[in-house]
Amino acid sequence: MLNLRSLSFKRAVWSALLCIGLPCIASAGTINMIISDMDVSYLGSALGNTGAIYDSIGLNGGNLNITEADTLQSVVFEQNMLPEGSLMTSGNTTLYGDLKIGGVGSSLTQGFHTQIGTNAGFGFDFFVPGGNNLRLGITKIDLLITPSNLFFTGSANIISQNLPFGLVMDAAQPVIFSYTATLPGLVGGNPVTGAMASGAMTITGQMIPEPTTAALIALGGMLGLTVLKRRKR
- In the chain, what percentage of residues exceed pLDDT 90? 57
What are the angstrom distances between the C-alpha of 8 and each of 14, 125, 227?
10, 54, 10
Q: What is the pLDDT of residues 62-115, one digit of tens each?
A: 889 999 999 999 999 999 999 999 999 999 999 999 999 998 998 999 999 999
Mean pLDDT of 189-207: 93
What is the pLDDT at residue 175? 96
Residue 20 has pLDDT above 50, yes or no: no
Distance CA 120, CA 107 (A): 21
Which pLDDT score, from 0 to 100, does residue 200 have?
96
pLDDT for 226: 57
Give the other-Cβ count within 10 Å of 191's Cβ: 16
pLDDT score recorded for residue 139:
86
C-alpha to C-alpha distances, 141 to 44, 115, 209, nearest whole angstrom: 16, 5, 28
For residue 16, pLDDT over 50 is answered with no
Residue 212: its pLDDT value, please? 53
Angstrom distance (rounded) from CA 42 to CA 99: 11
This prediction has a pTM of 0.78
Burial 10-31 (b: 16+ CB within 10 A, else e): eebeebbeebbebbeebbebbb
Is the pLDDT score of 50 beyond 80? Answer: no
For residue 189, give the amino acid letter.
G
**Angstrom distance (rounded) from CA 32 to CA 185:** 27
Kindly state the average pLDDT of the residues 1-17. 48
Mean pLDDT value across the chain: 83
161 bridge partner residues: 134
User: Is the peptide bond between 164 and the residue preceding it cis, with omega within 30 degrees of 0?
Assistant: no
